[in-house]
């Protein structure tokens, strides 16, 4: 909607029409309500009366709020206007008797200067200059156009320069077809001003016209030089109303931005972030992964789903039965992830003390504990920063969802660590049920988000990634992925400074792991291209057995190929453990601990 100024009408304040000792324009709201109720197609322009410093000179500004600018009706629209006004008069006459207050009010108000005061916009008829009676009319000459109630018709053969008015309603409740026809006749023949009668000399006529133009010029100049008293439009000061009209495009643009934001939030609410069965991460991580970069399933189809859903299916909780230095049986835990439908990667130190080279693995997708035997491991080392890798093969389980590797990792890149840290999952009720013998109670994977802090090399030239995604004992062997779901490293150890209580989390970069797995002829998937906003740029298609990364590195810097695990002798039956977690909670040292 827009506010339009329809024009101004100059009048002498002494001629202002009164009704019950009040200005007719003080009844604007009441008259408008009567019209909205009985004839909604008829609208009154809102008057803004401005009284000048000279009490003999005043004017009225006429405003209307419509979608389109009001215009004088065309010839084609004239019949429509005549019909609507006839119906309005009929409706008002039926609603109010001639002696009623409303009827008397309408008789005074619905009086126009001429036919030019009837406009049309948005299929509505707009009346301006209403309630105005010229001095001639006040003296009884009958100038103007009266719409309600109907007054007796003059002779239709009378002088066309005489004033045309509408008939009074003979019956308070019915308007005849003849009266409706007379309304149309009078509207078509009404004139703006009553012409001068008699044969005045030509020079006198011209003199009068010149004097009138001079007076109009003086009035216009006075209006420019002197400010008018501020008035209100629809209960809003004129200056503020004009400012609102000026700012309308800006306001509409802001409203459009708010509507777009609301639609975006509504889309996010379709998957509530608090529904842990469907969503285990912030809303920005719940969108589906880019189809072209998603890892392949065992059936050759790309994975469809979000990053949390992918990590829930691909990450496994590893339970290891073993013995400590005193010969007591223990259960330790760690993490791992599928690299093929039946092969799992983890750290060597997670499984190196396993009885019979066999561990138990589980996750939500498996639904229960499954046995997995150790296929191969890297060489043992006391250096926490050394190459640390083990490959497990799951037994008696359907094909699982593997992950894709990537060589792309840059400082300040967003990464997500997935695993089963004991400090968090020991509070999971499912873990307590599992410890009590309920093999179907499976804790959920824990996801933490951070950034790559740097890319470093250890003493042997193998690349490691310090990062800020929180990890702790139990995360060892779990994956570190980018927002495209590709493995950029394997979480291996944490360093801490006991003096400052500061710590740093380290993952082996995928370069060394890819070389070792390819040397063992394991059919892993590797993608090239950087990950930006969850989409792989460049060539993001997964490939099997890609070329060995960093060909230019010296052979002496290449990580050792995992060696075949030697079966160990059967050991005594272990004692039951109350909670499957790492036994050692020793204080961290500056040299680093295995998470």
- Catalogue all structural domains in the chain, each as residue range(s) with its CATH number: 2-195 (no CATH), 295-564 (2.40.10.120)
Query: How many other CB atoms are there within 10 angstroms of residue 265's CB atom?
Result: 10
**Distance between CA atoms of residues 551 and 523, nearest Å:** 19
SS (H, E, C) 284-335: HHCCECCCCCCCECCCCCECCCEHHHHHHHHEEEEEEEEECCCCCEEEEEEE
Residue 492 CA, distance from chain mean position: 41
**pTM of the shown model:** 0.48
What number of H helices and E strands is found in the chain?
A: 13, 31
Query: Are the C-beta atoms of residues 424 and 446 closer than 8 Å to each other?
Result: yes
Q: What integer best gives the mean pLDDT of the chain? A: 75
Helix (H, G, I), strand (E, B) or coil at 263: helix
- pLDDT tens-place string over residues 297-306: 777 788 888 8
Residue 162 pLDDT: 36
Residue 56 pLDDT: 63
Show the low-confidence residues of the chain (pLDDT under 70). Answer: 12-16, 53-57, 133-144, 149-203, 219-239, 270-286, 291-292, 538-595
Greatest alpha-carbon pair distance for the chain in Å reads 138
Residue 248 CA, distance from chain mean position: 22
Main-chain dihedrals φ then ψ at residue 147, nearest 5 degrees: -100, -25
Kindly write down the DSSP assignment for every residue of 122-176, as one continuous string: TTEEEE-STT---HHHHTTS--SEE-SS--PPPPTTS-TTSPP-PPPPSBTTB--
Query: Are the C-beta atoms of residues 453 and 468 closer than 8 Å to each other?
Result: yes
Residue 55 pLDDT: 60
Query: How many other CB atoms are there within 10 angstroms of residue 9's CB atom?
Result: 17
Per the omega criterion (within 30 degrees of 0), is the bond before 117 cis? no
Instruction: Name the region of 20 (left: φ>0; alpha: ψ -120 to 50; beta: rest).
Output: left
Residue 223 pLDDT: 57
**Distance between CA atoms of residues 378 and 151, nearest Å:** 111
Pairing between β-strand 58-66 and β-strand 358-362 as defined by DSSP bridges: unpaired
In angstroms, the first-to-last Cα distance of the chain is 66
Sequence length of the chain is 595
Residue 491 pLDDT: 95
Residue 560 pLDDT: 47
């Amino acid at each position: 909607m827009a506010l339009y100024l329809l024009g101004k009408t100059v009048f002498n304040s002494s001629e202002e029409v009164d009704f019950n000792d009040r200005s007719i324009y003080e009844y604007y709201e009441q008259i408008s309500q009567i019209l909205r109720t009985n004839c909604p197609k008829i609208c009154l322009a809102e008057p803004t009366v401005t009284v000048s410093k000279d009490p003999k000179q005043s004017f009225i500004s006429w405003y209307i709020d419509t979608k389109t600018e009001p215009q004088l009706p065309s010839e084609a629209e004239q019949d429509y206007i005549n019909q609507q006004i006839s119906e309005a008069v009929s409706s008002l006459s039926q609603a109010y008797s001639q002696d009623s207050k409303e009827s008397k009010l309408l008789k005074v108000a619905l009086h126009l200067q001429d036919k030019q005061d009837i406009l049309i916009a948005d299929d509505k008829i707009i009346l301006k200059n209403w309630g105005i009676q010229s001095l001639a009319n006040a003296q009884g000459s009958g100038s103007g156009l009266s719409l309600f109630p109907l007054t007796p018709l003059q002779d239709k053969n009378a002088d066309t320069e005489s004033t045309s008015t509408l008939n009074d309603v003979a019956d308070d409740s019915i308007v005849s077809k003849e009266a409706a026809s007379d309304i149309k006749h009078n509207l078509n023949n009404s004139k703006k001003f009553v012409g001068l009668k008699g044969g005045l000399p030509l020079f006198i006529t011209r003199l009068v016209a010149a004097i009138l133009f001079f007076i109009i010029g003086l009035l216009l100049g006075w209006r420019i030089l002197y400010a008018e008293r501020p008035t209100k439009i629809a209960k809003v000061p004129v200056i503020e109303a004009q400012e609102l009209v000026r700012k309308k495009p800006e306001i509409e643009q802001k409203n459009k931005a708010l509507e777009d934001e609301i639609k975006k939030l509504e889309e996010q609410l379709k998957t509530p972030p608090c529904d842990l069965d469907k969503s285990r991460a912030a809303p920005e991580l719940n969108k589906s992964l880019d189809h072209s970069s998603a890892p392949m399933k065992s059936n050759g189809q790309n994975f469809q789903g979000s990053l949390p859903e992918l990590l829930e299916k691909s990450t496994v909780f590893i339970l290891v039965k073993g013995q400590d230095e005193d010969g007591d049986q223990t259960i330790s835990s760690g993490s791992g992830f599928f690299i093929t439908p039946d092969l799992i990667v983890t750290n060597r130190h997670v499984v190196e003390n396993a009885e019979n080279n066999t561990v138990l693995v589980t996750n939500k997708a498996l639904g229960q504990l499954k046995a997995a035997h150790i296929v191969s491991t890297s060489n043992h080392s006391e250096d926490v920063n050394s190459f640390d890798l083990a490959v497990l093969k799951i037994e008696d389980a359907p094909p699982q969802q593997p992950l894709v590797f990537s060589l792309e990792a840059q400082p300040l890149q967003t990464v997500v660590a997935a695993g089963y840290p004991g400090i968090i999952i020991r509070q999971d009720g499912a873990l307590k049920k599992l410890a009590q013998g309920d093999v179907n109670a499976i804790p959920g994977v824990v996801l933490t988000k951070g950034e790559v802090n740097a890319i470093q090399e250890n003493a042997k030239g193998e690349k490691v990634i310090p990062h800020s995604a929180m990890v702790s004992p139990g995360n060892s062997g779990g994956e570190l992925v980018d927002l495209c779901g590709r493995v950029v490293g394997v979480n291996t150890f944490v360093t801490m400074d006991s003096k400052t209580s500061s710590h740093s989390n380290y993952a082996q970069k995928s370069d060394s792991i890819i070389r070792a797995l390819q040397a063992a002829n394991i059919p892993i998937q590797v993608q090239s291209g950087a990950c930006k906003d969850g989409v792989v740029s460049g060539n993001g298609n997964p490939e099997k057995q890609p070329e060995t990364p960093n060909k230019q590195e010296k052979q002496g810097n290449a990580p050792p190929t995992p060696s075949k695990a030697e079966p160990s002798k059967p050991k005594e039956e272990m004692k039951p453990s109350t909670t499957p977690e790492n036994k050692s909670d020793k204080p961290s040292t500056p040299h680093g601990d295995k998470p």
